[in-house]
Amino acid sequence: MPASPSTSTRRASNHEMEDLIPIDKVVILYASETGNSQDTAERVGREFRRYGKRCTVMSMELFDVVSLDIRKHKDLD
């Protein structure tokens, strides 16, 4: 019988992902000179999409901070 994957390498199920990340859309911003953080951001973005989440990955240089709607963040009250 094959060994079960360790906790650190096991992927979350769709149900577990809903519990961990109860939002449907995220924006992942990166700043990179070497490309390492861009690669990581894109990898994280692929994981979000794999679980049915909408995800945009973009450079911080291209992100329009004015487009943020701070009112949507209830925890900042």
Instruction: Write down the pTM of the prediction.
Output: 0.62
* Backbone angles phi and psi of 13, in degrees to 5: -75, 165
Region label for 52, one of left (φ > 0), alpha (ψ between -120 and 50) or beta (otherwise): left
pLDDT higher than threshold 90 for residue 44? yes
pLDDT higher than threshold 80 for residue 59? yes
Which pLDDT belongs to residue 71?
64
SS (H, E, C) 5-68: CCCCCCCCCHHHHHHHCCCCEEEEEECCCCCHHHHHHHHHHHHHHHCCCEEEEEECCCCCHHHC
Which pLDDT belongs to residue 77?
47
Q: Where are the domains of the chain?
A: 23-59
Q: Quick one: average pLDDT of 1-15?
A: 55
Q: Quick one: average pLDDT of 67-75?
A: 64
